[in-house]
């Protein structure tokens, strides 16, 4: 077990001197880059599927059984299959991150649409709104807070799974830092990887909260 001053010194050292391929900044950047790609794909696909599943009963009936089987399988359990399918390259890691963020986005978007006040939809239809107009003007804005909550949860999910993906195979990234520390029984290095992960995770969550406050000011959940 390494003491705090040792860990702190090591983190400071990693910021300046390269460990493995790059410095600590490089490792954080590599992990963040992967998360950004996988998370964007997951958000786009998840919100689309979730909104469709919430709006149309037919889409829900088609997609729900498969989705409900796949949903409870955690992202880490996908790793072995992903390696068989996509190898150990960048694509495999992005796929794991995608899985880590996808399910929550879908569920939240779907429940967002389903909790829209039916009176609002009725009123819009009564005033002659088309199906698309109802969706665009009523359902989308009022389910937005839910969608955003889903995006928030899935960002931490993605950040967590990048770690799992990098632990399996990688040459850089914070997960790599931890796993090489483990293989060398170097607790100071493990902790020097854990602390940046915690800090970056915290910054990501705070960033999402701030964006949420700006975008949906009418729905202040931060009380």
List contacts with other proteins (CB under 8 A). 1, 57-58, 60-66, 68-81, 83-85, 156, 159-160, 163-164, 167, 178-179, 181-182, 185, 187, 190-191, 193-195, 197-199, 201-202, 205
Q: Provide the minimum distance between the beta carbon of 74 and other proteins in the complex, in angstroms, as a whole number.
A: 4
Q: Which is nearer to other proteins, 151 or 190 (CB)?
A: 190
Q: Which is nearer to other proteins, 214 or 223 (CB)?
A: 223
Please, are residues 96 and 161 in contact by the beta-carbon 8 Å criterion? yes
- The string of DSSP codes covering 170-211 is -SSSHHHHHHHHHHTT-HHHHHHHHHHHHHHHHHHHHHHHHH
Q: Which is nearer to other proteins, 136 or 221 (CB)?
A: 221
Q: Provide the minimum distance between the beta carbon of 160 and other proteins in the complex, in angstroms, as a whole number.
A: 4
Q: Which is nearer to other proteins, 50 or 138 (CB)?
A: 50
Which alpha helices (DSSP H) does 20-117 contain, by range?
24-55, 57-70, 75-86, 90-114
Q: Provide the minimum distance between the beta carbon of 137 and other proteins in the complex, in angstroms, as a whole number.
A: 27
Please, are residues 96 and 150 in contact by the beta-carbon 8 Å criterion? no
Q: Which is nearer to other proteins, 96 or 138 (CB)?
A: 96
Structure tokens, 151: 């995006």
Q: Provide the minimum distance between the beta carbon of 123 and other proteins in the complex, in angstroms, as a whole number.
A: 23
Half-sphere exposure of 223 (CA within 13 A, CB side): 5
Q: Provide the minimum distance between the beta carbon of 87 and other proteins in the complex, in angstroms, as a whole number.
A: 11
Q: Provide the minimum distance between the beta carbon of 207 and other proteins in the complex, in angstroms, as a whole number.
A: 13
Q: Which is nearer to other proteins, 42 or 164 (CB)?
A: 164
Angle CA(49)–CA(52)–CA(55) in degrees, nearest 5? 150
> Which whole-number Å values give the CA distances from 68 to 55, 65, 103, in the listed order?
18, 5, 9
Please, are residues 120 and 176 in contact by the beta-carbon 8 Å criterion? no
């Amino acid at each position: 077990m390494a003491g705090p001053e040792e860990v702190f010194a090591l983190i400071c050292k990693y910021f300046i001197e390269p460990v493995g391929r790059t410095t600590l900044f490089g490792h954080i950047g590599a992990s963040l880059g992967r998360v950004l790609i996988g998370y964007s794909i997951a958000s786009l696909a998840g919100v689309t599927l979730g909104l469709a599943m919430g709006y149309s009963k037919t889409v829900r009936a088609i997609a729900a059984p498969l989705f409900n089987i796949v949903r409870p399988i955690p992202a880490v359990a996908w790793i072995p299959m992903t390696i068989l399918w996509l190898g150990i390259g960048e694509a495999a890691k992005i796929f794991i991150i995608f899985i880590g963020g996808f399910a929550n986005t879908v569920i939240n978007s779907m429940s967002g649409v389903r909790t829209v006040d039916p009176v609002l939809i009725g009123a819009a239809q009564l005033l002659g709104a088309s199906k698309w107009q109802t969706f665009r003007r009523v359902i989308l804005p009022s389910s937005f807070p839910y969608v955003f909550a889903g995006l928030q949860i899935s960002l931490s999910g993605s950040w967590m799974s990048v770690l799992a993906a990098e632990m399996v195979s990688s040459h850089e990234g914070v997960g790599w830092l931890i796993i090489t520390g483990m293989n060398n029984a170097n607790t100071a290095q493990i902790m020097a990887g854990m602390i940046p992960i915690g800090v970056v995770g915290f910054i990501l969550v705070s960033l999402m909260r701030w964006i949420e406050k700006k975008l949906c000011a009418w729905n202040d959940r931060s009380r």
